[in-house]
Structure formats: structure tokens, C-alpha cells
């Protein structure tokens, strides 16, 4: 659901000021420390930036793609570390749940992603397959009502901070390419 133009303009003005006054002055510190200060993360949460594209009914701002791009453009005026922090919550970390998740999954995860309570990560890339979903070696085997995933992933943005992972794994070894691959929601710390 798109915002009315006045509300969108207010959001963009807030983001422009935040980037200029708060984020740009921190660029060197972020680069030196390789970390975003907790108070800045809280400011990002308070502005609703973790939930740009998550529907309002789940606590997000509900921006459409064009609106999200306008916000991303303004965030692009500073270190990519800031966009990276919120990017997966707004993109590949939440969109699979929005499009294909059950209502139970949506209620369990989307409000927590939108608020920044949890950070998401998308686990596709593998040592042997790169980011080619059709060549994945990670497997998922049904075990009762659950699945057991086995494999190795790498280059996963936000992995050290993530509380929720979307993991791509091969569920049907007889289907060629990506057609035998499924996405799984995996909470950090799962066995």
C-alpha cells in the first residue's frame, strides 16, 4: 500500500536529515570499528527503517517498491553499512515470508523484523555452488513434522547478527536445477 504524497515527503525529509546529520558524521567511526553503535541502531528502529517494505498490518511502513527505492537512494548517500543493516529485513529476509509464508509465520516473524528486534539473513551462497540455486548441495530431509538441513553456506550478509535465516536447500534431488530447491525459515541457534 503506497503512502500518500505528504506522508512520503515527510518520511524522505526525515531520512535525508538523519543521513546528513547523524550517519555521515559516523562513517569513519563505523569503518574503524566495523560496528554500528547501539544508539544509532535504536534510532533506525525508531524511524521504522527495518520495516520499510513490510505491510503495516505486521508493524511495517508498507512502502511499495518505488517508495522503498526513494528511501534506499537517500540511505545510499552514506556508508553502505547502514543500508546493509536494514536491507535484508526489507528485502530477501522478509519478502519470502510476505509472499509465501503462512499467517502463523507472518505473525511470528514480520513484526519482529519490522521493529528491528531481529535481523534477518538470506543463506543461498555455497562454497561449490556460489549463488546458483540450481547447483546447491545443501539438503533438506523430512523428519516427522520437521526438516533436517545439512550443508555449508558462506558470504551471508548479517549472519553474525541474524536471529532469523532464510535458508535455501535441495528438497528433491531428482528435480534438476532450482526446481528441486525450497526455502526454509531457520531461527538462529536451531540445532
pTM for the structure as a whole? 0.90
| 94 and 173 assigned to the same domain | no
CB within 8 A of 156, min separation 6: which ones? 121, 122, 123, 125, 162, 165
Claim to verify: residue 57 and residue 149 sit in the same structural domain: no
Q: Digits of tens for pLDDT over the chain (191 positions)?
A: 678 999 999 999 999 999 999 999 999 999 999 999 999 999 999 999 999 999 999 999 999 999 999 999 999 999 999 998 898 888 888 999 999 999 999 999 999 999 999 999 999 999 998 899 889 999 999 999 999 999 999 999 889 989 999 999 999 999 988 899 999 999 999 98
Kind of pairing between the strands at 164-170 and 181-187: antiparallel
Structurally, how many domains does the chain consist of? 2
Residues 60 and 99 in one domain: yes
Cell of 68: 522503498
Helices then strands, counting H and E runs in the chain, come out as 7, 5
Tell me the CATH number at 64.
1.10.540.10
CA proximity to 71, closest of 13, 146, 126, 141 = 13
Nearest to 169 by CA among 146, 135, 144, 130: 135
Pairwise CA distance, residues 23 & 26, whole Å: 5
Domain extent for 124? 120-187
Amino acid at each position: 500500500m503506497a503512502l500518500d504524497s505528504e506522508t512520503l515527503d515527510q518520511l524522505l525529509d526525515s531520512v535525508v536529515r538523519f543521513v546528513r546529520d547523524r550517519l555521515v558524521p559516523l562513517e569513519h567511526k563505523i569503518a574503524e570499528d566495523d560496528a554500528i553503535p547501539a544508539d544509532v541502531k535504536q534510532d533506525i528502529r525508531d524511524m521504522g527503517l527495518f520495516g520499510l517494505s513490510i505491510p503495516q498490518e505486521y508493524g511495517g511502513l508498507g512502502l511499495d517498491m518505488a517508495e522503498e527505492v526513494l528511501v534506499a537512494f537517500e540511505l545510499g548517500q552514506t556508508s553502505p553499512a547502514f543500508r546493509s543493516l536494514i536491507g535484508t529485513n526489507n528485502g530477501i529476509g522478509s519478502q519470502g515470508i510476505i509472499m509465501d509464508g503462512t499467517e502463523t509465520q507472518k505473525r511470528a516473524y514480520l513484526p519482529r523484523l519490522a521493529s528491528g528486534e531481529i535481523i534477518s539473513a538470506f543463506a543461498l551462497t555455497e562454497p561449490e555452488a556460489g549463488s546458483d540455486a540450481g547447483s546447491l548441495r545443501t539438503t533438506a530431509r523430512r523428519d516427522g513434522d520437521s526438516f533436517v538441513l545439512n550443508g555449508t553456506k558462506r558470504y551471508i550478509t548479517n549472519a553474525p547478527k541474524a536471529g532469523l535465516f532464510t535458508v535455501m536447500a535441495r528438497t528433491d534431488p531428482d528435480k534438476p536445477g532450482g526446481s528441486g530447491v525450497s526455502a526454509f525459515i531457520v531461527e538462529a541457534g536451531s540445532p
